[in-house]
A and B are shown apart, each in its own frame.
Chain A
């Protein structure tokens, strides 16, 4: 177990997991002194029937203040203000967020406004602006996943002023996160594979990037084992509740790991690919993960090699010579992408040039790579990458990821 010279670790979110975890919500709210929640979600989640499952599970124990299902795919300040108004009007005393990253961020934004009686959310942006406990917030993630139910960050966009507000505070964390297998059961194969690889990337980057620490390591390690054992099953047999629960738990473990250990190049380039070309986050992660590993191999080989055990099991680990284990990890992740490509009827892209939108149009034209490389320089995720990456380095990695060819490691500038 590696003990860094200094580290910090915190996960104050209470976790409740199971096939009937939702039914615990009334008692959990009561413990927090609340009984009239505002349920925040989006149309996709509501349309999949998940809100009905939630309300059925909790209605005998609480009074549902209101259900708001108009959260857009990108968290929006206007919606945040609207929902805060609804909360006050219906005299709610708590929040339940049912959905993915955008719903979680919206709920966190609403919580700031209603708890601080704020008129201008901007005043609370940055780190350290919040000083006290907010209203009770229960997170019910419906993907496995972004891990945003355990992160202390919320990002809200002001589409009118074209600014992105970031809020960082321990007080933003939900009080409880409910991991119920029913909530991810309706995820179609393509979304399952994408969000699953997002979770895997969180865990892997948390394990080999600069801020790694003993607790983030043990969480990441457990996450990788759960995800590698269950992702393909969850994609091929969507109604298998055990693999759904395992994925939900794995994604949360990965979320806890990366929010305490930060991420690196894969997220750096991935965020930028998402913002420049609109590619969904999970797809960026799955494509770029093997490249992030290759780029950092000269600095982090030892740690990457250790991941072979949770990824592939003791048999493969013991049969692979020590010096080859890190490369094997990369190979296996590429294989996971290949398997998912097949299992999702070719919707899970394996390289950037393969990413298509719903109309079959290419989402990442080669000319856009230089724009992505430039945008990546402003993204803080590069700070914790083991190796420095400047514009030229980014271009090199993106070009390889576009073609789907392994990175030429001889060309990496080593610091």
Chain B
């Protein structure tokens, strides 16, 4: 009997994966930077447990970004989600969903709304993460993009906070301190 059924093994999407990997790397470092320069982000992290670690990445096998608190400091911990016990793990359901998020076609809120992300861990942690991410994105992105990414663009930020903070976060993120 001829082969009725053709078996197909899924290929990859290397370019899209690389793009998401770069975005996640940058975002992880930006969170580390914002935790030092922005008082709201600092406050959010202070309210979280001492060894709080979270990971954001793409199913089924990455890329990932891991950020955690170590000895009172918030650090970007690389791309291995198995490195430590995670308090919060956000799994994006596939590379295409990740592309929607990281090209800002869908904001974080909209991505959650569209069930593109599975949240594992206590929900208050997820809420804190979303607030932190909104602030970090406001720093990283020009207003016309940030408005798409965050829920309510903070029009009440002072010039100093927005632009000074932006320089600070970018510098720290790129140089890793």
Contact = CB atoms under 8 A, between A and B. Distances in A.
B155 to A, nearest CB: 8
B144 to A, nearest CB: 15
Nearest to A211: B113
Interface string A353-397: 000000000000000000000000111101110011000000000
A387 B152 CA distance: 7
B163 interface: no
A128 B127 contact: no
Contact of A380 (B114, B120, B123, B153): B123
A380 B109 CA distance: 11
B145 interface: no
Given A127-B120, A383-B112, A415 B152 contact: yes
A269 to B, nearest CB: 14
Contacts of B113: 210-211, 262, 383-384
Contact of A6 (B114, B120, B121, B126): B114
A210 B121 CA distance: 23
Given A210-B109, A210-B113, A415-B151, A380 B126 contact: yes
Contact of B127 (A7, A378, A388): A378
A126 interface: yes
B12 interface: no
Interface centre among B115, B118, B126, B151 (most CB of A within 10 A): B151
A8 interface: yes
A311 B151 CA distance: 30
Contacts of A7: 114
A262 B127 CA distance: 15
Interface in A207-232: 210-211
B99 interface: no
Contacts of A377: 127
Interface string B38-59: 0000000000000000000000
Contacts of A210: 109, 113
A372 to B, nearest CB: 15
Interface residues of B, number: 20
B130 interface: yes
A5 B113 CA distance: 11
B119 interface: yes
Given A6-B114, A415-B151, A382 B127 contact: yes
Interface in B56-107: none
Contacts of B151: 388, 415
Interface in A132-157: none
A384 B152 CA distance: 12
A166 interface: yes
Nearest to B134: A388
Nearest to B151: A388
A127 B119 contact: yes
Given A388-B152, A415-B152, A383 B118 contact: no
B109 A379 contact: no
A66 B63 CA distance: 50
A252 B130 CA distance: 31
B124 interface: yes
B129 to A, nearest CB: 11
A128 B130 CA distance: 21
A166 B119 contact: no
A360 B125 CA distance: 37
B115 A8 contact: yes
Contact of B120 (A126, A379, A387): A126
A3 to B, nearest CB: 14
A383 B109 contact: yes
A166 B152 CA distance: 28
B126 A126 contact: no
Interface string A187-224: 00000000000000000000000110000000000000
Contacts of A383: 109, 112-113, 127, 130
Interface string B119-155: 1111110111010000000000000000000011100
21 contacts: A126-B119, A126-B121, A127-B118, A128-B120, A210-B109, A378-B123, A378-B124, A378-B128, A379-B123, A380-B124, A380-B127, A382-B127, A383-B112, A383-B113, A383-B127, A384-B113, A388-B151, A388-B152, A413-B152, A413-B156, A415-B151
Given A210-B113, A378-B127, A383-B112, 13 more contacts: A126-B120, A128-B120, A166-B122, A210-B109, A377-B127, A378-B124, A378-B128, A380-B123, A383-B109, A388-B151, A415-B151, A415-B152, A415-B153
